[in-house]
Amino acid sequence: MNLMLFGAPGAGKGTQAKFLIEKYNIPQISTGDILRAAIADKTDMGMEAKKFMDEGKLVPDSTIIGIIKDRLAESDCKDGFILDGFPRTLPQAESLNELMSDMGISLDRVISLNVPDELIVGRITGRRVCPKCGASLHVEFNPSKEEKVCDYCGGELIIRKDDNAETVKSRLEAYHAQTAPLIDFYTNMNVFTELDGTKDVSEVTKDMIESLS
């Protein structure tokens, strides 16, 4: 099953991805993670991306698409995958569609978690993440069993440096301006499903699994 999680920063995509990984045994593909991995592995695309980053420039869409292509070609994606954090713009979505068409695959479902901006600010400032396994928890909505310890791998939970109110509001503005138009794009492809992301984590998971049945 080829899935995409869609929604504003802090909508709960990372949390829900963990449940999808466990249920369907497919990998989560976060562009940030695969970019860092490609650079660490010194792949051709990774080295190209590093060149731009070392110069303080944004990594071009063509390079990101190349890194995604390499990742989708890996054996653990043969039964499906979960895209998280990409695409962010309409040109990226069009490039991704072209790539997947060339690879003979397509998206089965784009799941959007709808959460009002004011709730997102509270969510992100209370978020705690695990740099070891990528898990995302929250001090109020999805607390770890043991304070500052990841439930999944036992790593130390941290606060991301950009998880503050001012940065969050800026990221939300960018999301609404650049990414929200993708709703129409994927709706027209008949793969878009919007869920109420304000519910309890377990209820959102239940709605998500039902939408995929």
Tokens of 210: 């039902």
CA distances from 190 to 87, 106, 107, 141, 194 (A): 17, 12, 10, 32, 12
Of 88, 132, 169, 199, the active-site residue reads 88
Q: Is 128 a catalytic residue?
A: no
Tokens of 74: 């890996």
Of 13, 18, 123, 128, the active-site residue reads 13
Of 109, 169, 171, 199, the active-site residue reads 171
Of 18, 71, 123, 127, the active-site residue reads 127
Q: Is 127 a catalytic residue?
A: yes
CA distances from 19 to 40, 104, 163 (A): 27, 27, 23
At residue 27, the 3 state secondary structure works out as: coil
Q: Is 36 a catalytic residue?
A: no
Q: Is 88 a catalytic residue?
A: yes
DSSP state of 60: P
Cβ partners under 8 Å of residue 61, min gap 6: 89, 91, 92, 95
Sign of CA dihedral 21, 25, 31, 36: positive
Q: Which residues are catalytic?
A: 13, 88, 127, 160, 171
